[in-house]
Structure 1
Amino acid sequence: MNQYIDIDKEYQIRLNSNESYIDMDNNIMMEIKSNLSTIELHRYPENNMLEIRNLYAQYAGTQSENIIVGNGSDEVIQLVISNYISCGKKVLTLDPDFTMYDFYTDLFGGNVVKYKLGENIVFNLDEFIKLGKKENIDLIIFSNPNNPTGLSLSNNDIIKLLKIFPNIPILVDEAYYEFNGESMISHINEYKNLIVTRTLSKAWGLAALRVGFLISNKNILEKLMKKKIPYTVNSYSQTMALTVLKYPDRVIENSKVIIDNREKLLLQLKSIEKDASMEIRFYPSKGNFIFGRTSHKYALLSGLNEKGILIRNFSDDTFRITVGSQLENRKLLNVLREIFIYQVVEEYAK
């Protein structure tokens, strides 16, 4: 089955990319527009990006010299994989997880080793360690909270991994940190194999800018910077990021609102799961999304598609729904009730 039934359709509600539904504050937007007018188009972008690093360091509780700024966290993730992975080397990650880990590993000739979370979305640290040792892995990468399941690994488990594999770089992708609140950034100088990535695309609501961060210790940063391409973050993105980063309270406040909506949405989804006449399951989440599973994919995707609602479909029996606004969530829930509780059409069971 294709990821989307009708990819060219104009969807009224897009709950497929884990974007923030909260638009930019009007006052901040006016400040952005004013600052954009100062850009000199005949000049290259700032390459050092010290101001951005300083502001993000204050927010993240670290130092500017521990930060690399990239064109989205995708760029800095690729930078890590390109440094540690070559033909025949192995990356250990979770299954499922962010698909770009597989893409970049394959790009540089490496092999992906996957630890399956299973139907109940359970992470067993001992089994993960056993797999890593058995496969003699060269790099460990996982998103935390996990995308797409919403599972969150504890800092204690991650610290155990860092100690068990002291010579293996471990990248913790904290793209959804703001919806969870637990971070490994405070440990970057304590564990010399720890790398953390962050982004402005999710909680900060700046997906259009493509601004991401890598946070690690001096030795790792020196190694990575030797392969980093210059001028990858354009002046418009830098200017807008600089403006928005001056208002961290905004993202903290917005994240609380999204978390509250997530929990309310999950409660209603679990109610649908309980009353459904066709099998469907939803999982708790620490992201701005909720992971689900159903053997009635055709019913789900057809019903949502008909109502102009787009979610993220995966190739197996799973899917992911981004937490939307209260209005978007209500419309989603009404359609799901129609599909799985009130109106069961025979062809949906295909």
Structure 2
Amino acid sequence: MNNNWLRHTIRSFEPYHVPEIREHTVINANESPYNIFDFPAVKAEFLKQLDQTPSYHYPDPFAEQLRAALADYVSCRPEEVLVGSGGDEIISLIVNTFVNPGDTVLIHTPTFDIYGIDAEIAGAKVVAVPDLPGYVRNQEAFLKQEKKLQPKLTFLCNPNNPTGELLPLSYVEAVLQASPNPVVIDEAYLEFAQQDSIISKLGQYDNLIVVRTLSKAFGLAGLRIGYAVAQKDVIEALSLPKLVYNLNVLSQLVGRIAMAHRDDILAHNVPPTIATREYLRNQLNALPGVTAYRSAANFVLVHVPDGPAMVQALSRADICVRFYKAADLQNCLRITATTMDVAERVAAVFQQEVSHA
């Protein structure tokens, strides 16, 4: 193919490559270990409603019933919610709604890659503020850049992926107050953080956009249900570049059922995940040369003396984790907190590898 056919902002991009996974214990993508259809009431309701769901009709373009259920969950109005195919689509919609070529997008690093990728595709200039040692965000430097650059878009992941760090709401508000433009707060992992959502401040900030998902705490990564929460006129703007039928009927159905049973699902899924996360962090921090950073998400970022060797040791034990090649994450592994038996296996591999080092 003639490379000149490509949009110039993606000519140097490498195709997204998902490495082949041979291991059977896969804890590299922050997926939940819990299947929503293992809840008898959920499964029964799904099968009942599935019989009444025709495949030949297009889905509701704005998923109105799911939109209302999600609004009830996060305590806002339905018109302040936009549903999409995962948080990734919501982030793409935000960038495509607001960013012109040459605009500045402010992030910190390390954080979720998609913010910078989508911004670069749109032709934006991405400014990244490095974290402090220990993967703590440099709040002072970030706020200084916010005030100086007045970026067209600002992204903050809270809790942050891949570090797990949680920012206080007071700081998030300080960033909102410093910017005249949209500030995106990605709360994909908030259910594990035991902190209130910035959505509670929605009425005070017309530049606030919150990204949420049902992929993590609700275990619906395969259904691809994400949503944005913002003031009504912002939601209407985000709807402009949206594909007409962006969320299929089955995802809308399961999302509604998940919201109807949300208390039971969260009570079942979240506490053991947090307990496993803390067990994993404490066990790994007890090992010499290993640092497992504090996390408010469903994963732990771990620094080891020899990352590739640890990844290979885990692979030999039939365990797949996320390993990073980026300079600011050198020798770091991100390990999803799933079940306690998996965490015990991971800790045993670390113990054995460290003892042989």
Aligned residue identity for 1:179: F
Aligned residues: 332
Contact persistence 1:86–1:108 (CA under 8 A): yes
Secondary structure in structure 1 of the residue aligned to 2:221: coil
Q: Is the 8 A contact 2:192 2:298 kept in 1?
A: yes
Deviations 1:246-278 (CA, angstroms, capped at 9, x unpaired): 011123312122112211221111112xxx3xx
Distance 1:235 1:187, change over 3 A: same
The 2-side partners of 1:215 and 1:224 are apart by: 10
Task: After TM superposition, list the pairs within 5 Å mapping 1:301-320 onto structure 2.
Answer: 301-315=311-325, 316-320=330-334
Does the CA contact (< 8 Å) of 1:36 and 1:240 recur in 2? no
State how far apart, in whole Å, the 1-side matches of 2:154 and 2:21 are: 38
Q: Is residue 68–residue 221 contact of structure 1 (8 Å, CA) maintained in 2?
A: yes
Task: Kindly report which structure 2 residues correspond to 1:148-227, keeping only aligned pairs within 5 A, or say none.
Answer: 148-165=162-179, 167-180=180-193, 181-227=195-241
Q: Percent identity?
A: 30
Q: CA RMSD in A?
A: 1.5
Instruction: Provide Cα deviations, 1:295-333, integer angstroms capped at 9, x if missing partner.
Output: 301211110111110111111222210002011111111
2:281 matched to which residue of 1? 266
Q: Which moved more, 1:199-208 or 1:53-62?
A: 53-62
Counterpart amino acid of residue 190 in structure 2: Y
Residues 25-69 of structure 1 deviation map (CA, whole Å, 9 limit, x = unaligned):
133123212322222121101113221111111111111111000
SS at match of 1:112: strand
What SS does structure 2 have at the residue aligned with 1:245? helix
Are 1:40 and 2:50 an aligned pair?
no
- Separation of aligned partners in 1, 2:231 and 2:160: 24
Q: Where does structure 1 differ by over 4 angstroms across 4 or more consecutive aligned residues?
A: none
Match among 301, 305, 314 for residue 291 of structure 1: 301
Structure 2 runs not aligned, ≥5 long: 1-17
Secondary structure in structure 2 of the residue aligned to 1:114:
strand
Of 8, 33, 40, which aligns to 2:20?
Answer: 8
> Residues 193 and 9 from structure 1, CA distance in 2 versus in 1: closer, same or farther, beyond 3 angstroms?
closer
Taking structure 1 as the reference length, the TM-score comes to 0.91
Letter in 2 for 1:281: T
How far the C-alpha of 1:9 sits from its partner, in A, is 4.1
Cα distance in 1 between the residues matched to 2:188 and 2:354: 32
Secondary structure in 2 matching 1:151? coil
Matches within 5 A, 1:109-128: 109-128=123-142
Alignment match, 2:66: 52
CA contact (8 A) 2:105 2:151 kept: yes
Deviations 1:196-237 (A, max 9, x none): 010000001001100111000012112222222211100111
**Taking structure 1 as reference, are residues 76 and 8 closer, same or farther at Cα in structure 2, changes over 3 Å only?**
closer
- Matched residues in 2 for 1:205 and 1:287: separation? 14
Q: Is 2:271 aligned against 1:256? A: yes
Unaligned runs of 5+ in 1: 1-5, 345-350
2-structure distance, mates of 1:61, 1:190: 15
The whole-number CA distance in structure 2 between the counterparts of 1:23 and 1:223 is 35
Aligned-partner SS, 1:69: strand
Q: Which amino acid aligns with 1:169?
A: P
